[in-house]
Amino acid sequence: MRSIGLLEEAADAFGSDMFVELTAAQALTVLARLEVVQRRLSASGLGLIPTVTTQASPVELGGTSFQDVLSQRLHISKGAARRRIADAEQLAPRRALTGEMLAPQLPNVAAAFRRGEVGEEHVRVVRQFFDRLPVVVDAPTRERAEEQLADMAVRFRPEQLRTGADRMMALLNPDGEFSDVDRARRRGLTIGQQGFDGMSPISGLLDPETRAYLDAVFSKLAAPGMCNPNDQTPTVDGEPAPEAAERDTRTSAQRNHDAFRACLRSSVMSGELGSHHGLPVTVVVTTTLHELEQAAGVAITGGGT
């Protein structure tokens, strides 16, 4: 632990230096050296994460998950904690079941990161490349690709590295062929943090089967005049009346949203979702008696939104 103490002392000494007399060129040189130091420290931090995740449970460390533990202790967002854990899985040394130390999954990128020659943006590009690389690409080819990407990362900025990675992907998978295993690995749906206006961003990737189901639902429920919250009695079954479709001024995206909401509401109200933690699956909201009586105000859902 003495080394971290020396590091903290060095940070204090650096922070107390006066830079007012530096020229622009000198200040730029200091910034470049500082960037290298920060990258090297970040790489060292990633090396500590496997120790945290393998030697204790999240509950023992005061959280519900390792993402939660890092978020609380490091005072960072859960998204940042999740990214650091994922980076550690790729860039930190691994330990075999026999106790033997193994090289990182991305050894050349990890080495460049430890030297401070590449940053987190470069790491993002390389990780995204391998996330999209089809499973049919053999191990030797993957190793050569990782070596070349690490070399490009050292020499080029992240934007240029992304261009090079895209060209490499085109060479390794010229026909754009992906298997069900590739698609299953990349599938996902993420709901972002709720904004001050109550709205939540959504992003992700749908596999072909899920897309087909959604297209079928939207063709029915997102048609003009369907599921329109502006109607006194929104149409959710059958065909909408011609006048209902004519007065529907919603955009296509808004109709998709309202159709998705109607589909979810129907699923929840059907009673066919069973139970969760011993209670029927439903939307539970909490509010004050005053706001309930006034039919206005803010209610908090069981999910915390």
What pLDDT, on the 0 to 100 scale, is given for residue 16? 66
Regarding whether 176 and 227 lie in a shared domain, the answer is no
Regarding whether 70 and 177 lie in a shared domain, the answer is yes
Regarding whether 135 and 216 lie in a shared domain, the answer is no
Inside any domain, residue 8:
no
Inside any domain, residue 38:
yes
When divided into structural domains, the chain yields a total of 3
How far is it, in rounded angstroms, from Cα 96 to Cα 303? 39
With beta carbons less than 8 A apart as the criterion, state whether 225 and 241 touch. Answer: yes
Regarding whether 282 and 221 lie in a shared domain, the answer is no
As given in the structure block, the two tokens for residue 20 are 């007012």
Range of the domain at 299: 273-305
Inside any domain, residue 4:
no
With beta carbons less than 8 A apart as the criterion, state whether 30 and 19 touch. Answer: yes
Regarding whether 154 and 254 lie in a shared domain, the answer is no
Regarding whether 305 and 157 lie in a shared domain, the answer is no
As given in the structure block, the two tokens for residue 16 are 């107390």
Inside any domain, residue 167:
yes
What pLDDT, on the 0 to 100 scale, is given for residue 291? 85
Regarding whether 277 and 134 lie in a shared domain, the answer is no
Inside any domain, residue 220:
yes
For residue 270, give the nearest of 259, 258, 281 by alpha carbon: 281
Regarding whether 153 and 60 lie in a shared domain, the answer is yes
Kindly give the confidence (pLDDT) of every residue in the chain, 305 residues in length, as a single tens digit, with 9 standing for 90 and above. Answer: 778 888 888 888 887 666 778 889 988 998 999 999 999 999 999 999 999 998 999 999 999 999 999 999 999 998 899 999 999 999 998 877 777 888 899 999 999 999 999 999 999 999 999 998 998 899 999 999 999 999 999 999 999 999 999 999 999 988 777 888 888 888 999 998 888 888 999 999 999 999 999 999 999 999 999 999 999 889 888 888 899 999 999 999 999 999 999 999 999 888 888 887 787 888 888 888 888 888 888 888 877 88
Regarding whether 26 and 102 lie in a shared domain, the answer is yes
Regarding whether 143 and 52 lie in a shared domain, the answer is yes
Regarding whether 60 and 80 lie in a shared domain, the answer is yes
Regarding whether 225 and 143 lie in a shared domain, the answer is no
How far is it, in rounded angstroms, from Cα 242 to Cα 177? 44
What pLDDT, on the 0 to 100 scale, is given for residue 196? 87
Inside any domain, residue 40:
yes
Residue 17: phi, psi to the nearest 5? -65, 150
pTM of the model: 0.69
Q: Any idea what DSSP says for residue 117? A: S
Instruction: Show the beta-strand stretches assigned E in the chain.
Output: 94-95, 101-102, 188-191, 202-205, 275-276, 279-280, 285-286, 300-301
Angle of helix 120-132 relative to helix 158-172, nearest 10 degrees, comes to 20
Inside any domain, residue 195:
no
Inside any domain, residue 96:
yes
Look up residue 82 and give its amino acid.
Answer: R
What pLDDT, on the 0 to 100 scale, is given for residue 18? 64
> Among 150, 184, 218, which residue terminates a domain?
184
Q: Is 182 left (phi over 0), alpha (psi -120 to 50) or beta?
A: alpha
How far is it, in rounded angstroms, from Cα 113 to Cα 47? 11
